[in-house]
Amino acid sequence: MYKIDLIYLDKFQGCLIGVAIGDTLGHPFEGMIRERIYSRFNDFKEFIRSNKKLFSTYTDDTQLTLHTAKALIQGSGFNEDYFIREYVEWLEDPPIGPGFGCLSSIQKLKYGISWKKAASNSGGNGTAMRVSPIGLFYNKDTKNLKNSALRSSIITHSHPAASAGAIVVARAIAFLINKTIETEFLVDEFFEVIISSISNSGEEIWDEFIKILNKIRNSLNISLEAGLIKFSQVGVKTPYFIEDYLGKAFVHPYTLSTVACAIFIFLKNLDSFEECIFQLATAGGDSDTVGAIGGSLAGAYFGKGNIPHDLIQLVRGYKDILKIGEELWLKFKDIDITKANQNYL
């Protein structure tokens, strides 16, 4: 087996287990302000060790990510029918801590309502949190990556913020699995790539997202707390239930704010997976989803080999997740080889 193949395997597994670790660690803090989370411990690692029961499960973010991976494996790529079938299957898992947008639309899909009618007009982060397998699978095919991320999003969320978030996260993952911590990457290049994935759309919310991404690029020198205060509710038009949390580090479950915070925290912590995932999971607000999305970026960049074993083993059913990562990688390799042969012929 070629060395490059094994690097990809490490990255595929790292990304999926990264989602699950971030989700598992963030879950107990969902709905809390960052300040309050930090009042509970001096040393997060020690807190995890002595409170293992608190971290006994992941949530809908990981569940739906695994269903996305399975749909890609079964369909040898994006196929709407397989995606719908897998998301409906999720209802039997059963869902853990689901968001309203996901649950209501997928319940309608279950009863045979077409996705065009079933999709909720939610701009929630429910599609960006499950999209990482698309970034992995289409990492060499940016056109299909964008198309698949978009279509995987609109079958449950018709709001353009959701599809913008799904495309950006998938594109970021495709970029990161082709980098290594030894060679690092240029932050400017990272932004150019993800911004170009949603440029020239004529879609107002996509353009707004580009402005937010540029703001993050220019804010990487501010402290983590200051950045979270700045981006926690960015783009949110109607704060509804979070009025008490405005101006605090409390990430709103809107796609733009969640993806913005996940990217910001990830880029502030490029030296250590562990530090990165700890910061993600304790971001405040929708911590499990910040953990899941940021965990997908960190896992894709660091790879499984650079993730501490004790964190992998903390995840419920981690062996199954690694297995799905391997199966997705095998499918990716198959398709890649087929394409190479077609080009050769």
184: left (phi > 0), else alpha (psi -120 to 50), else beta?
left
**Residue 288 Cβ, how far from Mg ion at the closest point, in Å?**
4
Give CA–CA dist 177/271, Å, rounded.
Answer: 16
Q: Which is nearer to Mg ion, 31 or 239 (CB)?
A: 31
Among 75, 95, 97, 308, binds Mg ion (CB under 5 A): 97
- According to CB under 5 A, which residues from 1 to 30 bind Mg ion? none
**Residue 60 Cβ, how far from Mg ion at the closest point, in Å?**
5
Which letter, b or e, does each residue of 87-119 get, where b requires 16 or more Cβ atoms within 10 Å of its Cβ?
A: bbebeeeebeebbebbbebbebbbeeeebeebb
- According to CB under 5 A, which residues from 34 to 63 bind Mg ion? 59-61
Q: Which is nearer to Mg ion, 10 or 30 (CB)?
A: 30
**Residue 124 Cβ, how far from Mg ion at the closest point, in Å?**
11
Q: Which is nearer to Mg ion, 61 or 86 (CB)?
A: 61
Six-digit token string for 36:
């309050």
Contact 137, 230 (CB under 8 A): no
**Residue 302 Cβ, how far from Mg ion at the closest point, in Å?**
22
254 closest CA partner among 281, 224, 280, 293: 293
Six-digit token string for 107:
């319940």
**Residue 20 Cβ, how far from Mg ion at the closest point, in Å?**
11
H-helix or E-strand spanning residue 11: helix 3-26
**Residue 6 Cβ, how far from Mg ion at the closest point, in Å?**
32
**Residue 207 Cβ, how far from Mg ion at the closest point, in Å?**
28
Q: Which is nearer to Mg ion, 19 or 177 (CB)?
A: 19
Binding mask 280-309 for Mg ion (x = CB under 5 A): --------x---------------------
Give CA–CA dist 272/269, Å, rounded.
Answer: 6
Q: Which is nearer to Mg ion, 10 or 60 (CB)?
A: 60
Rounding to the nearest 10 degrees, give the CA dihedral for residues 2, 136, 214, 162.
180
Q: Which residue is nearest to Mg ion (CB)?
A: 59
Contact 252, 258 (CB under 8 A): yes
Give CA–CA dist 195/75, Å, rounded.
Answer: 29
**Residue whose structure tokens are 């062996």:** 319
CA 287 to chain centre: 12
Stretch touching Mg ion by CB under 5 A, among 91-99, 172-180, 236-244, 324-332: 91-99
**Residue 35 Cβ, how far from Mg ion at the closest point, in Å?**
22
Q: Which is nearer to Mg ion, 128 or 198 (CB)?
A: 128
Q: Which is nearer to Mg ion, 61 or 274 (CB)?
A: 61
**Residue 59 Cβ, how far from Mg ion at the closest point, in Å?**
3
Stretch touching Mg ion by CB under 5 A, among 81-89, 96-104, 189-197, 242-250: 96-104
Q: Which is nearer to Mg ion, 86 or 288 (CB)?
A: 288
Backbone angles phi, psi at 42, to 5 degrees: -100, -35
Please provide the DSSP assignment of 119-145 as one string. Answer: -B---BTTTGGG-HHHHHHTTT-HHHH
Total site size for Mg ion, rule CB under 5 A: 5
Q: Which is nearer to Mg ion, 95 or 308 (CB)?
A: 95
Helix axes 3-26, 273-281, angle to 10 degrees: 30
Binding residues (CB under 5 A) for Mg ion: these are 59-61, 97, 288
